[in-house]
Structure formats: structure tokens, C-alpha cells
Amino acid sequence: MPPSDKASGIDRNLASYGDKAFSRYLRRAFLASAGYDRNDLERPIIGIADTSSDYNTCHRQMPEMVTAIKRGVLEAGGLPLAFPTISLNEILTSPTTMLFRNLAAMETEEMIRAQPMDAVVLVGGCDKTVPAQAMAAISADIPAIHVVAGPMLAGNWRGQRLGACTDCRRLWTEYRAGKISEEEIREIEASLCATGGTCMVMGTASTMACLIETLGLMLPGGAAPPHATGDRLKQCTASGRCAVELAQANRYPSNILSQGSFHNALTVLLALSGSTNAVVHLLAMARRAGISLTYDDLNRLSKKVPVLVDCKPAGVGYMEDFYHAGGVPVLLKELSPFLDLETMTVTGKTLGETLDGIGMPGDWQSTIRTVDNPLVASGAIVAVSGTLAPNGAVIKAAAASPALMRHQGPAVVFNSPEDAVDRIDDPALGITPDHVLVLRNAGPIGAGMPEAGSLPIPRHLARQGVRDMVRVSDARMSGTAYGTVVLHCAPEAAAGGPLALVKNGDLIKLDVAAGRIDLLVEEEELSRRRKDLVLSPIPKRGWAKLYAEHVLQADEGADLDFL
Ligand code: FES
């Protein structure tokens, strides 16, 4: 949908002074103070949404990236103007960046709409920044191209390759089990994050980068080059040039995105065995684009799409291995039989045209498998539903224990993420490996949907060698996590969903093959409990209040209902 403002360049989105000529004159006067003359201001203006922040180590070299993007814009005859937006770092943001994804999307959309720009380069990386920027660009619907920070290089500890944060979690579990000493965990802490960049396993940031490339909103090959490489900067410069072309071609996100491109993104998510968080983000993006996307689409594709990428947490490799193996273009080439090749991309070529000339995975590498030799035959991520989650829940089956995919056990209930932190190691709870750990009030309304769903294995069980248990919640989990973890239960407990009615000792049955998650309690008893249910009050002020009053459930993408 073209913008309602027909003006272009510096005359777009004029500040309102009741006199358009005065507004234009004033704008030029102020820009003259920054050294811009009439020659500069006749060029197409390319906004650059910059999420650099000292609080975001994943974006450490982003200022250098923005300089490279500006060079590309200037080479192509545009005028680059960078502007800062909220930067969300997973590790330094409390209680969870998910609480602020929609705020970042709103802020970015409004700044795109409010300032003069003919196209925008969205520069993100850490988990929520990329979907937030995509949601903004879809709603603003001006020519837009994504650039991501790119992954960190792998770390090393005593000869072991290390990656954030699959290895963070694995080694922390060993430390909790007493297998790793205090001194060793300190050494590990100093070795996990070797460079700037996003987590270097197939976590949420890497997954979203690959999906944005698949959707056609990024240059081919843009997802995988590590943060520290020259290829990352080359992607930046080329994207700056492409942004000018996009502006001149009037190519909008609405010209690029389609049901086919979202199905392609789900297909790639499954082939990556990527982050479950991407399901929520894709649902939110599709909703904003006015395109139908549901758990049925996920399950239909999940039955047939093989896992081809051998990266942690489902496999063994790191993002630099995926990059050296050819990244998303080579993966897409191998996945061609499963893809809609007529979908459009920022370059103006279809996906099929883009893949012409891309080679198949070479047998000199093992990170991108062939369809004939997959890592897992199918079913990487599955949506389940049942009496415990009538509107659905999600499980990353490829990172779960096969023995637990069909399991029935008594519930141990934690009322909030804080409650779980306080009590999970309490021996008095009598938790056995057969118990089902239930976490509630951690959904969008309840807590902003933190990555609290992969509850730690109780310490006494970890010390006995237990490494996985069935866990069920309305929370999310990190894309770098693993285990038999049922997430995103909807409706959530704070909305009165069945999770709110579970009591300690109730039997819960998970059957992934049957697509079911059930609370084995009679409806009569549940009705009684429902009558006594008292929901927690929502926050009283500020963003948290607005969010809790308007956030949609996970199966609708957890966007705000008015966006
Ligand atoms: Fe930023 Fe993992 S913490 S990508």
C-alpha cells in the first residue's frame, strides 16, 4: 500500500506549522546546520533505524555497520539519515525483552511515519529487535530492507568450542549437578562470548535473521556472515545501495510478503530446527500483513519438512559453520521442492530467480544436509492442543527427549517464574523424574512472556543424572534451549486458561505424535475450581498496564490488539 503522503525526499512527512512552504523552508534551514545543501536534499532519503546501544553487546560493531550502510546509500545517489530506536538486549533487559517487542515495533513504526524518508534500512540483531522492526515496516509499509548484526564467532574453553547460549545452559546444568567447579564455571563465563554479535547457535536471533532473508526482506546471503567479518560490512554497503533502488522502484513490504513467503519462512524454521520464539513472531508479522497463518500451517509443514541444518541446539554446529557452508541461499536451494519459488524479494527478483546459480550443499561440509540425508526426518517444531491448552501450545520436538514425547505424570505447580526460582530445588516437594513441572502466570498478560519455560531440573535430580523432564507453561523459552518443554499454552493462566486450574498431583498427559496436551481432571471438578479462581491484578500504570490490557495471546502473535 503506497503511503498517503505523495511528497518525496525531504518534503515527506512535514512538521505541521499551518504553512507547508514555511515547513519546507524551516526544514532546509535546520538541515543546513548539519552541512546539507540543496544538492544533498534533492536525493532520495534513506532512513537507517539504528539499534546501537552500550547495553546491547550483540550490536557492538553496529556503528561501523551503519557507516558502511551510509556509504552504500551515498554510492547509489541517496542521502542516508540514521536515527536511534529502542535497543533490546536479551540479557540486560528486565523482566524480559518480549514485554518491549511491541513497544519497539510501535516506536520504530511511528518514527518511520513521522520523519522524512523514502526507504528505511532496519538494523537489528538481538532477538526481539528484528521482529519488532519487521512488524514496524509491515505496518508503515514503506520500502524497507533488513540488515542484521550477524552472529558472534564461537568461543573456546580448554579445547571445547563454546556457543552462547546452548553451551551456557549445558555447562550451567553441569555446574548445578556438581560436575563443574566454581573455578571452572568462572573460566567458562569468560570464554562463552568471544566477540560482538548475536548468539552463535540457531537461537532466536539467528533463526529470525534466516527467516527475514527467506521472507525476501533482506539481501540474499545476509543472515549468516558473522558480526566480525568483512562480509558483514559488505552486506551493509550492498543493502544501502539496495535501499535506494527500493525507494526508486516503490517496492513495499506489501509487494513482497505473501502467504507463500510466510509458508516458506515456516518451512525454513523447521529445516533449521529453529527457535520456537519465531512462531510467535511470524504469527505477529503475518497478522500485521493481513495474511492468514495458523498452527495448522505449522503442523501441515512440520509433517513433511526435514531438519537440514546441523547447528546447536538441535545439532552440533555453530553459525560460522552455517555461514561457511553457504548460509540461507544454499539451504533454500536444497529446500526448493518445499518452497513457493514465485515469492518476491527486495531485489525485485523472485525467490526462484534468486536461487538460479546457487550451488547445492557440497559434500565437503556437513552443516547443511541434503533432503536425502537429513538430521531429522520431520517434525522439528509441533503445535499441540488439548484440555490444558485449548488454543494451542508449541514444543520443539527436535530438541526434546524421545522417551518423554509420550508421557503422563503428576503436576508440580509453580505460580510464577519467581516462585519457580524460590522453590524448584526444595527437596520437600518430592519431585521425581516422572513429575510434570508446570509454570503458570508467565504468559503475555501474566509476565510479558519471559523465557522461563525451560525450568531447571531440580538440583537433587540433576545430581542423580536426570537431564530432562516434561515441563509445561504459558511462557516462552530461549531459542538456544532444549528439552521436553511445552510452551506458549493458550489461553494463558492470567487470562483464566486451564493452566490456572491445575493443582499439585493432577495428572497431565503429553502425546506429541497425537498433537495433544491434556489435563486429566473431570470437567465437573474444573468448573468448581474455575468458580473459585481469582486472577492476579494487572499493573497499574505505564507501558506494563497498556501492554497487559491489550496484548493478544501467543497463538495470535502476542501483538497489541490495536496494532
Ligand atoms: Fe543477543 Fe542472544 S543475547 S542474540
Q: H-helix or E-strand containing 80?
A: strand 79-84
% residues pLDDT > 90 (the chain): 93
Mean pLDDT along residues 413-442: 96
What pLDDT digit, counting tens, does each position of 97-120 carry? 999 999 999 999 999 999 999 999
| DSSP codes of every residue in 494-525 | GGT-GGGG--TT-EEEEETTTTEEEE-S-HHH
Supply the pTM of this predicted model: 0.96
* Cell numbers describing residue 74: 551515498
Q: What is the mean pLDDT of residues 66-90?
A: 98
Same-domain status, 305 and 417: no
Taking residues 35-58, what's their average pLDDT?
97
Residue 357 confidence (pLDDT) above 60: yes
Looking from the CA of residue 58, the nearest atom of ligand 1 is: 1
The whole-chain average pLDDT of the chain stands at: 96
The answer as to whether 550 is a domain residue is yes
Q: Are residues 163 and 139 in the same domain?
A: no
Instruction: Determine the pLDDT at residue 536.
Output: 87
Residues 258 and 233 in one domain: yes
Q: Residue 6: which pLDDT band, with cuts at 50, 70 and 90?
A: confident
- The answer to whether residues 135 and 269 belong to one domain is yes
Ligand 1 atom nearest 89 alpha carbon: 1
The pocket around ligand 1, CB under 6 angstroms, is made up of: 58, 89-91, 126-127, 198-199, 203, 205
* Ligand 1 site-directed mutation target among 55, 90, 93, 275, most atoms within 8 Å of CB: 90
Q: Could you tell me the sign of the dihedral formed by the alpha carbons of 220, 225, 230, 232, in that order?
A: positive
- Residues 6 or more apart in contact with residue 522 via CB below 8 angstroms: none
DSSP conformational letter for 309? B
What pLDDT does 51 receive? 98
The model's pLDDT over 299-337, given as tens digits with 9 standing for 90+, comes to: 999 999 999 999 998 899 999 999 999 999 999 999 999
Would you say residue 9 lies in a domain? no
- pLDDT score recorded for residue 31: 97
Inside any domain, residue 217? yes
**Does one domain contain both 185 and 242?**
no
In a domain, 277, yes or no: yes
Residue 249: strand, helix, or coil: helix
Task: Say if residue 214 is in the same domain as residue 184.
Answer: no
Q: How confident is the model at residue 133 (pLDDT cuts 50, 70, 90)?
A: very high
Return the best residue to mutate from 92, 127, 477 for the ligand 1 pocket (most ligand atoms within 8 A of CB): 127
- What is the identity of the amino acid at 122? L
| Residue 23 included in any domain | no
Going by pLDDT thresholds of 50, 70 and 90, the confidence category of residue 4 is low
Cell numbers of 514, please? 497425537
Find the 200 Cα to ligand 1 centroid distance in Å: 9
Mean pLDDT of 526-546: 95
1 pLDDT band, cuts 50/70/90, is very low
- In sequence order, what are the beta bridge partners of 485? 471
Mean pLDDT, rounded, for 21-41 = 96
Dihedrals phi, psi of 247, to nearest 5 degrees: -65, -45
**Residue 163 and residue 141 share a domain:** no
| Full domain range(s) for residue 171 | 155-191
CA distance 248 to 3: 14
- Residue 3 scores a pLDDT above 60: no
Q: How many whole angstroms from 37 Cα to the centroid of ligand 1?
A: 40
The number of folded domains in the chain is: 3
Confidence of residue 479 (pLDDT cuts 50, 70, 90): confident
**CA distance linking residue 164 with residue 169, whole number of Å:** 8
CA separation for the pair 157, 166 (Å, rounded): 14
Tell me the CA–centroid distance for residue 364 and ligand 1, in Å. 30
- Predicted confidence at residue 5, as pLDDT, reads 61
Q: Starting from the edge strand earliest in sequence, which strands make up the sheet with 144-148, in order?
A: 79-84, 45-50, 119-124, 144-148
CATH number of the domain that residue 402 is part of = 3.50.30.80
